[in-house]
DNA sequence: CCGCATCCATGTCGATACTG
DNA sequence: CAGTATCGACATGGATGCGG
């Protein structure tokens, strides 16, 4: 829903509907590859376009570019072009982007916990099967 | 991207790729209306289907139902049917869903702050215009 | 090397009408 | 009341090829 969400939130903001603060935050990193890119840039540091591509082999050029451009427009990452030949482009997180990292870390931890307890449940049901 | 995200994450989980904990968490509330519904159920308490509809006038039956069913399947909300006539259905948040509320509150607060400083920037540029 | 442009299959969402 | 069914418009994302 990402593009849709971005458009919706923009419309709401234009129409003065400021009751959508959480949707606004969500629209920052809810996009294909966005949360992963942001996490890497926040934790690891600077990446070049090609490095991100290798990091996300499933992402097409088109999608990767789109996500990066949107995050740049939102001010959470920055893009630096070095007009060498061949061209070189660096991506890094901004201070604003960095301020989102705690939330993403919280999401990471929640996910880890949840996955752990889901594995537990699987073990339990296997044991129950064994008892029968 | 929501449905896509859900499918992707499910596939990743099936394939034993447990390195996607944040995407997994994201898939819990990244869906049309999900974060708003979850927030209301978490803060206000129980809602009936019709009440949610009135709360989200833009949401169609189809979408509202879909989002509620998915969140139920994910175990973050629960659905109770009272076989009266006419039928009555209550939706409430589960303990698991409640454990997501701090993250959503953090997102709400980040959004509020961000919107505030964006308004500030608008004021600044208006003042600059006035100075000229 | 880092993209953008185009085409096309698929997916998503709204509107409307109908049911137990 | 609380949904389901169906149809059609629209958007999304993958593949490919081109360009500075």
| Distance in angstroms (rounded) separating the CA atoms of residues B16 and B91 | 32
Give the residue whose CA sits closest to D14 at C1': A60
Q: Taking 70 as the threshold, does the pLDDT of residue B126 lie above it?
A: no
Q: What's the maximum distance between 2 C-alpha atoms anywhere in chain A?
A: 69
Long-range Cβ contacts of A35-40 (<8 Å, 24+ apart): A35/A104, A35/A107, A35/B22, A35/B23, A35/B26, A36/B22, A36/B23, A37/A67, A37/A68, A37/A71, A37/A77, A37/A91, A38/A71, A38/A76, A38/A77, A38/A93, A38/A97, A38/A100, A38/A101, A38/A104, A39/A101, A39/A104, A39/A108, A39/B22
Enumerate the domain spans of chain B: 7-131
pLDDT of res. A131? 41
List the end-to-end C-alpha distance of chain A, in Å, as a whole number.
44
Q: In chain B, what percentage of residues exceed pLDDT 90?
A: 70
Q: Do A104 and B22 touch (CB under 8 A)?
A: yes
Taking the domain B7-131, which CATH number applies? 1.10.10.10
> In 10 A of CB A26, how many CB atoms?
24
The series of mean pLDDT values per 10 residues for chain A, 132 residues long, is 74 67 95 95 96 94 96 97 93 98 97 90 62 42
* In chain B, residues 91-130 whose CB comes closer than 8 Å to chain A: 96, 99-100, 102-104, 106-112, 114-115
The tally of CA atoms less than 13 A away on the side-chain side of residue B98 is: 9
Q: Averaged over B5-18, what is the pLDDT?
A: 67
Q: List, as one string, the DSSP characters of chain A.
A: -HHHHHHHHHHHHHTT----HHHHHHHHH-STTHHHHHHHHHHT--EEHHHHHHH-TT--HHHHHHHHHHHHHTTSEEEEEE--SS-EEEEEE-HHHHTTHHHHHHHHHHHHHHHHHHHHHHHHHHHHHHH-
Contacts of B22 in chain A (CB under 8 A): 35-36, 39, 104, 107-108, 111
B71 in contact with A at a CB cutoff of 8 Å? no
Kindly state the DSSP code that residue B86 receives in the 8-state scheme: S
Q: Do B26 and A35 touch (CB under 8 A)?
A: yes
pLDDT of res. B48? 98
Residue of B20, B23, B111 lying closest to A21 (CB–CB):
B111
Cα B116 off chain centre by: 22
The torsion angles phi and psi of A34, rounded to 5 degrees, stand at -60, -50
Whole-number Å distance, CA A61 to C1' C20?
50
Q: What is the pLDDT of residues B45-78, one digit of tens each?
A: 999 999 999 999 999 999 999 999 999 999 999 9
- Confidence grade of residue B131 (pLDDT, cut at 50, 70, 90): very low
- Confidence grade of residue B132 (pLDDT, cut at 50, 70, 90): very low
Alpha helices in B15-100 (DSSP H): 21-29, 34-43, 49-55, 61-73, 95-98
| Distance in angstroms (rounded) separating the CA atoms of residues A82 and A67 | 20
**Better-scored residue on pLDDT, B81 or B130:** B81
Whole-number Å distance, CA A76 to C1' C9?
33
């Amino acid at each position: 829903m990402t593009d849709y969400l971005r458009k919706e939130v923009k419309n709401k903001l234009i129409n003065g509907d400021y009751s959508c603060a959480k949707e606004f935050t969500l629209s920052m990193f809810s996009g294909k590859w966005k949360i992963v890119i942001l996490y890497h840039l926040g934790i690891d540091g600077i990446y070049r376009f090609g490095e991100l591509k290798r990091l996300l082999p499933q992402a097409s050029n088109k999608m990767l570019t789109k996500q990066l451009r949107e995050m740049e427009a939102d001010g959470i990452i920055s893009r630096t072009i070095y007009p060498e030949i061949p061209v070189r482009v660096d991506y890094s997180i901004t201070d604003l982007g960095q301020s989102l990292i705690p939330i993403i870390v919280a999401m990471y931890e929640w996910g880890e916990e949840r996955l752990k307890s889901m594995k537990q449940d699987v073990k339990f049901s296997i044991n129950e099967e064994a008892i029968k």
